Amino acid sequence: MTALPPPGLRRVVTGHDAQGKAVIQSDSGILAEPIAGMEGASAAPLWISKSVPTTDNNTSDDGALREGTEGIVVLKGTNLRYTDLAPGTVVPMHRTSSLDHNILVKGELVLMMEDGSETHLKDAGDVVIQRGTIHGWRNPSSTEWTRWVTVVIDAAPAVVNGRALEDVWVS
């Protein structure tokens, strides 16, 4: 029997009151939504910053609800998100012009690279730093879900031999 998807994540956001005292601004659950065209994969934004440096310290806006942030990479900004993969699910090979910090939270995950190599992540806390390379992901389990958290930072395209490498999704 296949395990159920993991529950949503709890997200606690701090801020300031009218006197400048640090307070909890919100404390709520964030549920992942299915990713279009990827059966068994779901994701949710946890916080989006539309610029770096950010002005998020000066606003009460909910960064997960910002409009105009289509896709994974936020132009000139950051995207903190989590992704869940059902047992056996594969995320197709792709490249984005970004610097991604991927942290395994639950389950196991296989990083698939363009050269055919695979790296098996087995322990919660394992980290992959993705630097504009073509890659894919696979949940190797036949029974357990995988979850990882990613910080996606907008970046100039990777350049090899003077040629900028374009964003791509390989089906």
> What pLDDT digit, counting tens, does each position of 30-66 carry?
999 999 889 999 999 999 998 888 888 877 788 888 7
- Residue 105 belongs to what domain range? 32-169
Q: Report the pLDDT value the prediction gives residue 97, as an integer from 0 to 100.
A: 94
CA distances, 113 to each of 23, 92, 160 (Å): 43, 11, 17
Judged against a pLDDT cut of 70, whether residue 2 lies above it is answered with: no
Do 33 and 47 touch, CB atoms closer than 8 A?
Answer: no
Residue 138 vs residue 54, higher pLDDT: 138
**Is residue 43 a part of any domain in this protein?**
yes
Q: Report the pLDDT value the prediction gives residue 68, as an integer from 0 to 100.
A: 59
From CA 44, how far away is CA 121, in angstroms rounded? Answer: 21
**Is residue 36 a part of any domain in this protein?**
yes
**Is residue 5 a part of any domain in this protein?**
no
Judged against a pLDDT cut of 60, whether residue 1 lies above it is answered with: no
Tokens 């606003």, residue? 59
Among candidate residues 24, 25, 18, the one with its CA nearest the CA of residue 61: 25
pLDDT class for 70, splitting at 50, 70, 90? Answer: low
Q: How many domains does the chain have?
A: 1
Task: Give the CATH number of the domain where residue 142 resides.
Answer: 2.60.120.10
Most confident range, picked from 3-7, 59-63, 73-77, 162-166: 162-166
From CA 79, how far away is CA 48, in angstroms rounded? Answer: 5
Q: 45: cis peptide before it, omega within 30°?
A: no
CA distances, 150 to each of 2, 22, 44, 91, 128 (Å): 25, 26, 10, 14, 9
**Is residue 26 a part of any domain in this protein?**
no
User: For residue 72, what are the β-bridge partners?
Assistant: none
Side-chain half-sphere of 22: how many Cα atoms within 13 Å? 4
Task: 59-63: list long-range contacts, CB under 8 Å, 24+ apart.
Answer: 60/15, 60/25, 62/13, 62/26, 63/13
**Is residue 51 a part of any domain in this protein?**
yes
**Is residue 12 a part of any domain in this protein?**
no
**Is residue 7 a part of any domain in this protein?**
no
**Is residue 3 a part of any domain in this protein?**
no
